[in-house]
Structure 1
Amino acid sequence: MLPRSHLIILFAALLCSAAALPERGPLPLEKPQTLEKPKALEKPETAEKTTPAEAVPGKTDGGTDAAKDKDKDKDKDKDKDKDKDKDKDKKSEAAPDIKPDVKKTEPEKKAEPVLTIEPEIAADHATCLADLKALGASFKEVERIDDGQGCGIDKPILLHTVLPGVALAPEGTMRCETALELARWTKDSVLPAAKAALPDAGPLTTVNQASSYVCRLRNNAATGKISEHARGNAVDIASFTFKGGKTIVIEPRDEDSTLSGAFQRAVTAAGCLYFETVLDPGSDEAHEDHLHFDVLERKNGYRYCR
């Protein structure tokens, strides 16, 4: 048994604790606390975010970091690709006119026609020479002309006189066909018109030419088509000289009411009966001081007379 003094102390302690209890109602129960799961058993947050393709066997947190690094590398690669695309765009914008120029010049070089001297049929040439002699023209045959670039005459002649007593000054090199039409025009049109319009001037003695064969482009231009003069098909008439000393110069005469004006207009109009092309001072500035005649053949027998 406990000593009596110990019992008295125990009893006094019981009385004190009973006095501290509330007067009504039961004692409140403490709210149960939920047990925390051990961290080791919790599912890692990265496991939910990591896709099967990103998961690396045998790695935990290190695998997620590697995946993030791969994503960053992919982003960098995308940025590099974008920068390359921008550089390409800048280069294409910086030189937009270079490629079109190459495309334009190449087809032009390929499309350039090869100019050659047209051969003349021997039989036709012989007939032309015979007809020219029959009209009384004087000339001589000269060697074939080939100046390159399509300039030249296969069977050229050097014409001295157009008709008996009517000189060509200076002498002109041309094809026989050109000389023949010049002689016919002079005989059938110029002589009758001069006799009617200029009876006091006397017989025609000289047809003054400004150009026969010459290797050049049309109207002496720097670019364009080759002139018919370069093929021996053309002759330019600058004036007419008569035995009495009078000279009729070719000039703009559309409003000239004199007999000289009538003479020029008459022989110009008649020129289209013999030549396929007739250009006078009224056609353009390049022909203000001469008549251009040529025998260029056109489709369906078309003639250009202005």
Structure 2
Amino acid sequence: MKNIAVAAATTALIILTGASLPDKGPFPQEKPRIDGETEAPAETAPIPEPRPSTANGTENPPTPPNEKPLDTAKPEEKPEKFGPPAPGTLEAQNLTIEPESDADHAKCVRELQALGAVFKDIPRIDDGHGCGIDKPINLVEALPGIAVKPQATLRCPAALALARWMKESVIPAAAVAAKEHGQITTINQASSYICRLRNGAFAGKISEHARGNAIDIASFSFEKGEAIAVKPRREDSTLTGAFQRTVSASGCLYFSTVLDPESDAAHEKHFHLDVLQRKGGYRYCH
């Protein structure tokens, strides 16, 4: 009864004074303005940016987490894969042919001759776009009796690395893994000097092939039996598989870059071997 009486008294007081109850709690007091102060504009909620539309006017659906968005662009037409770099497609880089000292070249030639390699000097190559070799050679035989087919156009350091790798690694490994085939007779190369970008791409960095620093090996031929082709052999438990993995790994002792069929699809059928000089003697072998 006491609570009812208090409520009745409160209602009577409101009626007598003309006051009214707020709809939803007490209203905040207005902040007093200072002379010269302008009233701040009321804040408004930001308007979200419209979703981007595709060329046909429809919105792209949201991409689920951990998934790459679909590429809705039409593929561009590209020039022939192994043609020379198109103007304006090269990244900023040194596009001059690196000069080679006479002394360094002469030293390399003497070492190559000492291994019994067969080669000949050819005129300077300059194909533009930074493609070319200051002192190129045509390598006919990497070692006595081991032909390079077709003949490889290279800088002497690349030819020397190939000859040393063959003598000290490939031939001993083949003597164990393929002794029934006899001696290696041919290195079947897929690419030596050629003016192009890396992996035959449309844009990017110039290939070491375009500087005479690289050679691609597709297979090795023997006196008898089938050639040993370079192909994916990671799960190959035969001696042939062991041979390929062995010579791929040892290649990094002679070359600064070794890419084999396990590297990527672009090298699925050959070894890429080059003598690119990197800072600190860093080597990339995969």
TM category (shorter chain) comes to 0.5 to 0.7
| Match in the other structure for 2:138 | 158
Matches within 5 A, 1:136-285: 136-285=116-265
Helix, strand or coil at the partner of 2:196: coil
Amino acid paired to 2:149: A
| Cα distance in 2, alignment partners of residues 155 and 146 from structure 1 | 11
> Which structure carries more helix by proportion?
1
| Match in the other structure for 1:81 | none
User: C-alpha offsets along residues 179-200 of structure 1, whole Å, 9 cap, x if unaligned?
Assistant: 0000000000010000011110
User: C-alpha offsets along residues 101-122 of structure 1, whole Å, 9 cap, x if unaligned?
Assistant: xxxxxxx99x944510000011
| Cα distance in 1, alignment partners of residues 132 and 253 from structure 2 | 26
Amino acid paired to 1:285: A
Matches within 5 A, 1:1-306: 112-113=92-93, 115-306=95-286
Helix, strand or coil at the partner of 1:160: strand
Amino acid paired to 1:256: D
Amino acid paired to 2:254: Y
User: C-alpha offsets along residues 155-178 of structure 1, whole Å, 9 cap, x if unaligned?
Assistant: 000000000010001101000000
Structure 1 gaps of 5+ residues are: 1-107
Could you tell which deviates more after superposition, 224-233 or 241-250? 241-250
Helix, strand or coil at the partner of 2:203: coil
Amino acid paired to 2:170: V
| Cα distance in 1, alignment partners of residues 184 and 262 from structure 2 | 25
**Conserved in 1, the CA contact under 8 Å of 2:93 and 2:205?**
no
Amino acid paired to 1:216: R
| Cα distance in 2, alignment partners of residues 113 and 245 from structure 1 | 46
Amino acid paired to 1:142: I
Bigger relative contact order (CA 8 A; separation at least 6): 2
Helix, strand or coil at the partner of 1:205: strand
Structure 2 gaps of 5+ residues are: 1-87
Amino acid paired to 2:264: D
| Cα distance in 2, alignment partners of residues 294 and 113 from structure 1 | 18
CA distance 1:291–1:113, change in 2 (3 Å): closer
> TM (normalized to structure 2)?
0.68
CA RMSD after TM alignment: 1.4
Amino acid paired to 1:246: E
Q: Which has the larger radius of gyration?
A: 1
CA distance 1:223–1:136, change in 2 (3 Å): same
**Conserved in 1, the CA contact under 8 Å of 2:120 and 2:139?**
yes
Helix, strand or coil at the partner of 1:172: strand
Amino acid paired to 2:215: V
| Cα distance in 2, alignment partners of residues 148 and 270 from structure 1 | 34
User: C-alpha offsets along residues 131-155 of structure 1, whole Å, 9 cap, x if unaligned?
Assistant: 0000000000000000001000000
Identity of matched residues, %: 65
